[in-house]
Structure 1
Amino acid sequence: MNNMTINGVNSQTFVCSNIRRSEEFYTKALGMKVLKRTVHHNDAHLPVVTFGFEQFPGEPKRTETVTYVEWNPIFYMMPEKGFVDPDATKDGVANPRVGDPKGRWGAGTNHHLALHVPNRNGLLKWKRRLTDMGIHCTGPYNRNYFHAIYLRDPDGAIIEIATSEPGFGHDEAVLGSKFCPQPEENLVGGRSELAVASETWPHDCSTITSDYAMRGFHHITSISSNAERTEKFFVETVGLHLIKKTDYLDEKGGTHYYYACDDDLSPGSVLTFFGLPNYAKGRLGTGLTHHFTLEVENDAALADQRDRLIKSGVEVSGIQNAVYSQQFHFLDPDGHICAVSTPSDFTIDEDADSLGQSLCLSEEHEADRTEIERAAALRPAPTPRLPD
């Protein structure tokens, strides 16, 4: 593909077992705000909450969002193919298979979402705040192109908080033109884990101040079992820029490739893949990402991107009305669910200054509001149909 139409990253969608607990984590611990409370466009039995970032004067508008879909049974696996196809979603919710609902990251799944703070002092303030709240963090680690700490959401999904400094350009003149080995002191076995663990901010950080509040996404990282195959797919077929080829810092022999959606390499527009050859396949479920979504500017660009993927032999879904955007899904070479959408508009059913204050339902579901609200409050498990 010669003409890149992907403008950036739109969102990352996780699966959780208790959406109210996830909401408390994002709003009270991470200081983000609820933008929308609704249900999944493919099945109203699935509650959905979307979180957004504060906007600060003089800074770029942050449109990326974090979405959580609730799958609450303790004894049923999530549908194997996720919540992508409308008919398959309804069937999977109505007829779940008995088993462990927890996800397991591996080849063909996401590994973590990295949120963005401007500098290392902000990173240390987050470490102090979160550890004081009883939330376990590791880091800060020097990742050569940024510094980062790591934590888990209430279901175990890995969340990274990363700085924008020092950036991707300090070790090569043309980004992505060569393999850039990591300094030995950054690699597992070469760094001092004790020194890393001991560093934190010396003062109380119980109040989130503007200097270290979240600034949106930094990047999204997934797992590839074949780095070269993934590179060919995301560069030649999807249309991203390869901007960095380097070592995976936490596993000897692994690689870490970075891709950008835009030319300015801004945090929030970057996808990365750990290259772990022949790594075991992951499994969708709670405590894991369901999919990430790339963004195009309008309906015409969405249709164009879908047509181009089809011409390249990629199996894609139909374009779906997801209420707040139009979107379609596709799979990467390892089977990871990806999506492309138009920009999200959460003001179509709520005023901009009162987003997230009520349960918003489409006209299709409004007639069932009482039942939906009752089901969300009680959170019943699915009831599979008995075999004929």
Structure 2
Amino acid sequence: MSVTIDIAGLPPERIRFAPSPLGELTAMLHVLSEPGHHPALSGWAVATAALLEPELADRLLEAETLWRSARADFLIPGRPGLTLADELDAVDRIEDEAYVAAALTSQRASAPIHPIPSPLTDPAARNLALDTARARGPQQAAFAELLLADPPAVRAWVRRLLHDCEEAFFTDAWQRIRNHLTADARQKTDLLMRQGPAKAIAAVSSAVTLDETRHRIVIDKLQDVSTSADGDGVTFIPSIHGRPHLTIVFSPGWRPVVQYPAAEPGLPHPIPPDVVQRRLEALAHPVRIRLCRTLSRGGHTTGELAAFWQLSAPAVSRHLAVLKKAGLLTTRRRGRYVLYELDLDTCARLGFDLLEAVLR
């Protein structure tokens, strides 16, 4: 399963890598709303939440539908600016119909893959938006009703809220991480110019690749969606607070954007969902679990495992082949024998890998 972005005929210079203040701020707001998604940032989330004035915290709760389950597309800019004010000015230039549709789409379980009528002008779309908001809770319903009743007033209120977040915690945080994000974007831009799109895109994440035959970017996600750069371009935004998510703007009418975890020393690369699935399936068989129990204690040959568990050597070999293909075993030679051993580090990471694949 994947999200694909068609870039056929797109010149390399229209693939852009750049940090985004607005993208990073709303990634932070998502962390504050869903700290369980970001265990590595739990300390930051607790400390930041404790510093918020009660009035600001209440306003964030009123607006969190814009970034809790999914972020509204206009909060992840296709053309990042130098400052938060620059990017908010660009948001102000979006027409009400596009702004409202994006804001209300962020409340749904999945973004639309085809253009949808505006909830401001189409009664059926309006009713669907309100029903979706009401199903998610009274705060979401109240926000949707206000937005539909008076878009300019709500848009101004949201902008003031984001400015207040800038003063409360974002300015200091941005000063600490801006150089790191700029360096990450510059390194990938250099790769793009020197070695081409495939190398630059591969450097984003092991979950992002360029299919050069079909001229499309492929992002491992637990959904199947396709969009196109349409000659306009595609933007990659590095993030510190977005990890482990790969957040993608792919809705019709919006420039495709991928916000990705910036490279950080010591952090493992994400595991593709199909590898996680293969490992879970390998461990689902009761015989293979028994073999893993023995292999966790040290290296064993096929013959030793067969004798210990009273199995035939060919049957053990078949099970070992499945476990090895899933990347759960290591091997070493002892004379003419091959010793199999459980890869404890890989097994220990499996729960985290599963969570990361689901959250990605």
The TM tier, using the shorter chain, reads under 0.3
Q: Under a length normalisation based on structure 1, what TM-score does the superposition of the two structures give?
A: 0.22
Structure with greater strand share of residues: 1
TM-score normalized by structure 2? 0.23
Q: Structure 1 or 2: larger helix share?
A: 2
